[in-house]
Amino acid sequence: MQEKSNNKSPVLILAALGVVYGDIGTSPLYALKECFNGANATTLNPTNIYGILSLIFWSLIIIITIKYLLFIMRADNQGEGGILALMQLVLPKNQKKKGKKRFTFIFIIGLFGAALLYGDGVLTPAISVISAVEGLKIATPAFQDYVVPITIIILLFLFWLQSKGTASVGKLFGPIMLVWFSILGILGVYQILQTPEILKALNPNYGFQFILHHGRQTLFVLGAIFLAVTGGEALYADMGHFGISPIRKAWFFVVLPGLVLNYFGQGALLLQHPNLVDNPFYHTAPDWALYPLIIVAMMATIIASQAVISGAFSLTFQAIQLNYLPRLRIFHTSEEHQGQVYLPEVNIVLLIATIAVVLLFKSSSNLAVAYGIAITVTMVITDILAFFVMHKLWKWSIWIVLPVTLFFLIIDGAFLIANGLKFVQGGWFPIMIAAAIFVCFYIWISRLQLIRKRFKKYDTNLSEFTSNFNRNDYANVSGTAVYMTSAILSTPMALQHNLKHNKVIHENVIILEIGLKNHPRVPIKDRMVVDDLGNGFYRVLVKYGYLEEITIPYILSLWRDHDILKNYTKELTFYLARQTILVERGNPLNKFADHLFIVMKTNSLDPTRYFKIPTDKVFEIGIQLEI
């Protein structure tokens, strides 16, 4: 991907603050607090404060700075990030023989990793917003009963705002997040100046000593420490929105300093006032600044949710383009960046699920138990996919690849085990969401493959069909018929059925395939391939990437500039096959999967609306198929 122009760099850095870093930027609201609160909290004393701060600092350095910003973000698919982009990058091109098992393994873990991000997309808005609103309880106990209602009102506003688009949201939220990170740093410096010895926690030895002396309890504490680094996958998924450079600059110059200063400021406060452990973040501020801080924190937590929500939109758009999910309505919210999309159905589902989470868990402490497990599993999957990138794509020696992969796997694996201990208390929730999404992925993909296999018996090679075709056997009519197909060497079922039942053939017949490539975008010079098959038949292949939206009006604009096709852009009729799926008798599990597939297919966007074909130029031919 071409890096954005330098004159736009400050604007993109500001926008990246508003979209990419909201999640990790609001972690100081609850991360350190959870280390010293709850049934499995560690004892509050200076040694433990130094140890936990050391672990938080070095987690930020190793996981976010080194792993994601300096390493994983190099594994971009033509500038795009996210687990689906990474999966497409490392999928074997040849699925046969030796490559088949590796393809299946990468495909399954990649899809499951993508499904896990939806669980994060539900929990992040909930825990971020409710943790900010809980500051009102510190101001006055009178707000105790209003935390959940206020949280829900803020969430309704947040999800309503999504239709305005990532670019607009970034411009609005960027300046607010700049203020937020500045406040984090100022509050931290204010406390550090009073207790400068807290800076000793920069020494990694304090973290090692904490791990060595706390045994099994270390795992419970790591589950809370991990809250400080959530957001790594979200910034990787949003990489295509702004480019690598603005995201890196925002981290090193604004985000990392603000986070480190604030965490150490909270630690300094607890050294002097251990009785304020109930919510050290808000207690770092003077009394007169509490209400303004709560207001800014509420705005920041609205923004915190933006990274995962926009990431969920991008993820769903990619999955639809790759045929992993049924077609949904997609609105492109930016003329400059095709990756910025809004999907209203996804927005509604996320809103309902997020409000349900708030009503179910009711507090940030309860949500912290559920939060993290989905993200850690995704991080482990990212490590595995990165192994294939290093070894197969970058051609690194296996003696370099193995130590690097093991280093990241040991760290992420420790966090995974720590979060896994919280499964029964609430960690099951995001896993349940991920499992439901993965089932939808699997059923949709497997049933589409089954349909293709059933249609295989009707498969007729297009070149053989056209060379043996006798127009005198049918009634010839003027105009041009366009038959859309998913297999360029096959004769479309709609064409075969039209000839069989109507006995009519148009003067010109165009077989159109819109072919997906496993790249984000296809260069315009490679966009279209046209073959003249003779006898009035033409084969047209239009190629696109999984981040591009290809519509019939756009395709017709290409045809008007083509030497052959420009003569056949008038009097067009598009013939589409409308499939009616019937369920065969089978075991209950297969019947359930078949019926779920039918529900998804019935509610998916039909080709006429998805490809924006003029409705007055469409002729549908019904085809029934049993699966």
Residue-level pLDDT at 96: 52
Please, which pLDDT band fits residue 167 given cuts at 50, 70 and 90? low
**pLDDT at residue 585, rounded to an integer:** 64
- Say if residue 368 is in the same domain as residue 293: yes
Q: Please determine, for residue 3, whether its predicted confidence score (pLDDT) is greater than 70.
A: no
Q: What is the pLDDT of residues 212-250, one digit of tens each?
A: 988 778 888 998 899 899 877 777 877 777 778 888 999
Do 482 and 371 share a domain, yes or no?
Answer: no
Instruction: Give the residue numbers spanning the domain of 378.
Output: 18-447
Calculate mean pLDDT across residues 162-171: 64
Predicted confidence at residue 605, as pLDDT, reads 85
Do 143 and 287 share a structural domain? yes
Tell me the three-class secondary structure of 30-80, residue by residue. CHHHHHCCCCCCCCCCHHHHHHHHHHHHHHHHHHHHHHHHHHHHHCCECCE
* Cα–Cα nearest to 321, from 546, 494, 498, 519: 546
- Is there a domain that residue 189 lies in? yes
Note whether 420 and 492 are same-domain residues.
no
Give domain status of residue 394, yes or no: yes
Tell whether the model's pLDDT for residue 566 goes beyond 50: yes
* Residue 7 lies inside a defined structural domain of this protein: no
Each as own residue / partner, the long-range contacts of residues 550-553 (CB below 8 Å, 24 or more positions apart, any chain) are: 550/514, 550/611, 551/611, 551/612, 552/611, 552/612, 552/613, 552/614, 553/612
What mean pLDDT do residues 93-102 have?
62
Contact 474, 499 (CB under 8 A): yes
Domain stop point among 414, 447, 480: 447
Confidence (pLDDT) at 456? 73
Whether 578 and 621 have beta carbons less than 8 Å apart is answered as yes
User: Does residue 1 lie within any of the structural domains?
Assistant: no
In this structure, the answer to whether residues 466 and 389 fall within a common structural domain is no
Say how far residue 167 (Cα) sits from the centre of its chain: 17
Mean pLDDT of the chain: 85
Asked whether the predicted pLDDT for residue 374 surpasses 80, the reply is: yes
> Is the per-residue pLDDT at 262 higher than 80?
yes
pLDDT at 353: 92
Q: Which of 107-111, 145-149, 183-187, 603-607 has the highest mean pLDDT?
A: 183-187
Q: Does the pLDDT of residue 608 top 70, yes or no?
A: yes
Q: Please tell me which residue, 558 or 198, carries the higher pLDDT value.
A: 198
Same domain, 439 and 484: no
Secondary element (H or E) of residue 317? helix 290-321
Kindly state whether residues 100 and 245 are assigned to the same domain: yes
Residue 501 and residue 415 in one domain: no
- Please state the pTM of the whole predicted model: 0.82
pLDDT over 70 (residue 494): yes
pLDDT surpassing 80 at residue 579: no
Q: Are residues 530 and 406 in the same domain?
A: no
Q: Is position 493 within any domain?
A: yes
pLDDT higher than threshold 90 for residue 407: yes
**Residue 565: per-residue pLDDT:** 86
User: Is residue 23 predicted with pLDDT exceeding 60?
Assistant: yes
- Given 447, 475, 504, the domain boundary residue is 447
Helices (H) and strands (E) in the chain, counts: 27, 8
Find the CATH number of the domain harbouring 264: 1.20.1740.10
Number of domains, the chain: 2
Based on the fold, state whether residues 612 and 486 are members of the same structural domain: yes
DSSP code, position 425 = I
Q: What is the pLDDT of residue 232?
A: 79
Q: Does residue 192 sit in the same domain as residue 276?
A: yes
Average of per-residue pLDDT across 482-506: 82
Among 419, 447, 475, give the residue marking a domain's end. Answer: 447
Rounded Cα distance between 178 and 14, Å, is 7
Residue 1 has what pLDDT?
40
In angstroms, the CA 390 to CA 384 distance is: 10
**Domain-located, residue 47:** yes
- 47-84 confidence digits (pLDDT tens): 999 999 999 999 999 999 999 999 998 887 777 777 88
Q: Are 413 and 372 members of one domain? A: yes
**What is the per-residue pLDDT for 238?**
75
Please tell me the predicted confidence (pLDDT) of residue 354: 93
Q: Where are the alpha helices (DSSP H) in 391-545?
A: 398-420, 428-455, 462-467, 493-502
Asked, for residue 6, whether it belongs to a domain, the answer is: no
How do residues 421-465 score in pLDDT, each as one tens digit?
888 888 898 899 999 999 999 999 988 888 877 777 767 778 888
Is 452 among the domain residues? no
Instruction: Give pLDDT, residue 468.
Output: 85
